[in-house]
Amino acid sequence: MRNIFTLLCFVCFFGQVAFSQQDAMFTKYMFNSLHYNPAYAGAKDHLAVGLLYRNQWWGIDGAPVTQTFTIHTPLRNNRVGVGFSAYNDVIGPTHQMGANFSYAYRIPMGNGGKGKLAIGLQGGVTNWRADWNKLKLADTNPDQAFSEVQPSYWLPNFGAGIYYYTRNFYIGFASPHLIEYDLREEATTEIWAKQYRHYFASIGGAIPIKGDMLVFKPSLLVKNVGLLSNFNKDDAFKDIGAPTEIDVDLSLLFYEALWIGASFRTAIEAFNDTSSFDSVDLWAAYYLANGLRIGAAYDYTLTKLQNPAKGSFEIMLGYEFNYKTKQIVTPRYF
């Protein structure tokens, strides 16, 4: 296993895409939408539970490892959706864990009310901490930032989002954490750790090729950090250096049970108008007759982390049921 210092070297010198975004990255974001957008609460039109485990850059000691849990449902008046999400994210010496409660109000729109516009809010808390003693530094006189004791922070926050969807189309935009925090008390260095606001925009569709027996589903997720950084009061943090990340996914759903897809992740650099390729991903999910959903994904890394890492993988578990009819229903496309 490579040590954490190796990871930091690759991240700092070769992988701006890997370094840039603080919020956890997922290949199967469509199975984890509540983590990004509180307006998604209740969108399944029945109670849905999901678990996801991600191991990024498997084979490197200290690489990101993330677990998430989501549960959401519409209420009986069908206009309101509520949800809860929790996550645990470890990257080298840093550790984040948090929980959020979500509320979404859904407004029927167009096509006889078959489309719905949801406006969502969430509130919760994040615990952020770091243990720099876990680092194996080659320099006997390390940067001052790594010689200070890092306290544990409890950071209350709130987020907001919108989400419009029909049976065959969806589009959404959200920022799950609107408040930005300093992550170092009485900083003496020129630049120190901060928690930045992230933005997520998504769009997708479901195109029947052979009725419900074969459905083509393209989707797109765009992730941005620092969209409004020019308004930041701290000059040192205006140029964040985080690229805008783009995930393109193409999948096929067979007989409303077997879902197979492939995706491509890239990034557009914010300041030099160039792009860099991050990974090519393969994934599959299967809906069992009892409502259980299982799935897995594998990312083939395209950056210079390709040699020390063995790619990334995710494992997904979910359960969907309809409390009105007391039986499993056909899974929604989104």
What is the predicted pLDDT for the residue at 278? 80
Q: List the structure tokens of 72.
A: 């959401």
d(CA 141, CA 160): 44
CA atoms within 13 A on the CB side of 302: 13
Q: Which string of b and e fits 25-56 if b means at least 16 CB within 10 Å? A: bbbbbbbbbbbbbbbbbbbbbbbbbbbbebbb
Per-residue tens of pLDDT for the chain, all 334 residues: 344 434 444 333 333 333 345 677 788 888 889 999 999 999 998 899 999 999 888 777 778 899 999 999 999 878 999 999 999 998 888 888 999 999 999 999 876 668 899 999 999 999 988 777 766 666 656 555 555 556 788 989 999 999 999 989 999 999 999 888 777 665 555 555 677 888 999 999 999 998 889 999 999 999 988 665 544 555 555 555 567 889 999 999 999 899 999 999 887 765 455 557 888 999 999 988 888 999 999 988 887 777 777 788 999 999 987 644 444 455 567 7
Question: What 8-state DSSP symbol labels residue 151?
Answer: P
Count of residues in the chain? 334
Q: What is the pLDDT of residue 142?
A: 56
Q: Which residues are registered as beta bridge partners of 321?
A: 47
Residue 257 structure tokens = 């049970």
How confident is the model at residue 259, as a pLDDT? 93
Q: Is the pTM here over 0.85, yes or no? A: no
CATH topology for 4-321 is: Porin (2.40.160)
What pLDDT is stored for residue 30 in this prediction?
81
- Return the DSSP state at 140: S
Q: What is the pLDDT of residue 10?
A: 38
With 0-12 CB in 10 A as exposed, 13-18 as middle and 19+ as buried, what is 212?
exposed
Where would I find the H helices in the chain?
4-14, 16-20, 33-36
State the CB neighbour count (10 A cutoff) for residue 14. Answer: 14
CB count in 10 Å sphere of residue 157: 19
In sequence order, what DSSP letters do the residues of 95-134 get, joined into one string?
EEEEEEEEEEEEEEESGGGTEEEEEEEEEEEEEEEE-GGG
pLDDT at 250: 96
92 half-sphere exposure, CB direction, 13 A CA radius? 16
In sequence order, the β-bridge partners of residue 269 are none
pLDDT at 232: 53
Cα separation values, 116 from 47, 74, 173, 285, 291, Å:
17, 13, 15, 26, 24
